[in-house]
Amino acid sequence: MAAEKTFSMDEVSKHNNKDSFWLVVDGEVYDITKFRELHPGGAAILDDHAGKDATEVFYGLHRQEVLQKYRRFKIGRVEGVESQIVFRQPGDISGVPYSEASFWLGFKSPYYKESHDRFRKAIRKFIDEEIKPIATSCEETGKSPTPELYAKMGAAGFLAARVGPGPWMKAFPQLGGVSAEEFDYFHEQIAHEELARMTYPSFADGCGAGMVIGLPPVFNFGPDAMKKKIVPEVLTGKKRICLAITEPFAGSDVASIQTTARRSECGKFFIVNGTKKWITNGTFSDYFATAVKTEKGITMILIERSEGVETEQIKTSYSSCAGTAYITFTNVKVPVENILGKEGKGFQVIMYNFNHERWSICAAVVSSNRMVLEECIKWANQRVVFGKKLTSQSIIRFKIANMAARIEATQNWLENITYQMTKMKYTEQAVKLAGPIALLKFLCTRVSTDVSDDACQILGGRGITKGGMGRVIEQHQRTFKYGSILGGSEEIMADLGVRQALRTMPNSRM
């Protein structure tokens, strides 16, 4: 391998005009003569830095990935000067304070083992290399994840990892070499956290958010024949599934759904009519785990995309990658064998499923908040105002402290609940954890509100500008309310948490 060329700063300084334009960023020399006229901000903004060290001004205007994108212009480095800025590599754990859960920053934990460390690094590398490059462009264009990407996620075991430990895990090799026997809910929590950490929320939801909440009703309540067919199809990425409960007139009030399923004259089918709204992944799903009303009451059934099923894209605050859909069922024939659980007992299926959905949302929300905090800390540490770094300002340190303290609190509560899940059977979780998970979700999304507010103030104009230095902050500011609404609104969560607690209240007196 050829040795890297080195140049003295005197030599660099001679290349200071449009015919030969060099500059230095973190000790590395870039020849941007050909790029100068193509610079999106115009050539004039570059000219003052020709032949000079432009490290500070570069990082005052650009994210590090810009330098990575144009690394082809690098021609060498300054003689005797070592790079000071760390370039993040795929799979790397961040060293920025509070940017990771404490275990990954060198603290001790009673929850995590070596397999969790191995799994996180492997799954982060997989997302960095296989998903994020696609997400970067698709988040802008609104294109959903391709079947090819779903197949990659399936083959890697990434889809299976996000529906939790179970017998299906034996059919899928896990990232980091984690065996089916050692895979637990902490591994699944990590999978949700890492996808959210990608900072492209719509594309992340497009990568199977519908599956995370739509497949559990099948493997927990579906008949054996259904499970044998559907579960492998979905977890290999060949087919896609979503959960269809919410309707135009029924959100958290599940009992008010109006979609009907009436038995055919022959008794072999349900004839389904009705609409569903805001269904994540609905536009490209093949299967719909759907709440309907039969003559016996609310029932969950599995509907396959067929004649009479129409899906239409709904535009929301984030990109269209997630495939959020308005679904119309018109005289759809569904075999009676497709009941999930028992007819008239659909509310039980829905409530059992809500715990897992809300817990996975909490994991994603905490991780998203951490990414915003990391962005704020890095920006405040590099941004110079009135001749000093932003971190020299006590009000900025206070805002960072406010974010860090709340994020750490929610992380610790999340980990405690995840630990309970590793020790409880599914039926026990449904009874004991419904209230705590609801309250955690309420707290997580309230913290998101404060994090968004503090972050926008720290980044200023960049925090409300799409792309560039404030991309993550602006995107979070625009999309953090999803967590406050999906899976049950904050108000419903707060009320549910207290009502569940009062059910076990002893007959005590002051």
Q: Looking at residue 113, what is its pLDDT? A: 95
Per-residue confidence (pLDDT) for residue 254, from 0 to 100: 85
Question: pTM of the predicted model, to two decimals?
Answer: 0.92
Whether domain 241-344 has CATH 2.40.110.10: yes
CB 135 within 8 A of CB 193: no
User: What's 52's DSSP letter?
Assistant: S
Q: What residues contact 114, with CB distance under 8 A and at least 6 apart?
A: none
- In the chain, list all ranges with CATH 3.10.120.10: 6-78
Enumerate residue ranges in the chain where pLDDT < 70. 1-2
> DSSP secondary structure string, 147-167?
HHHHHHHHHTTHHHHTT-SSG
The pLDDT assigned to 63 comes to: 86
Q: Which amino acid is at 476?
A: H
CATH class of 356-503: mainly alpha
Measuring CA to CA, how many Å separate 192 from each of 94, 344, 356, 358? 17, 32, 12, 12
- pLDDT value at position 253? 82
pLDDT in tens, 120-176: 999 999 999 999 999 988 988 999 999 999 999 999 999 999 998 988 888 887 889
Predicted local distance difference test score (pLDDT) of residue 1 = 58
Q: What pLDDT is recorded for position 315?
A: 93
State in Å, rounded, how far the first CA of the chain is from the last one.
79
Tokens of 70: 């144009």
DSSP string, 348-390: HHHHHHHHHHHHHHHHHHHHHHHHHHHHHHHHHHH-EETTEEG
Sole residue written with tokens 């090819």:
148
CATH of the domain spanning 6-78, picked from 3.40.190.10, 3.30.470.20, 3.40.50.1820, 3.10.120.10: 3.10.120.10
Residue 30 amino acid letter: Y
Closest Cα to residue 441, out of 479, 488, 477, 406?
488
Range(s) of the chain covered by CATH 1.20.140.10? 356-503
Is the CATH code 1.10.3470 the one for domain 102-207? no
Q: Write out the residue limits of the CATH 1.10.540 domain(s) in the chain.
A: 102-207
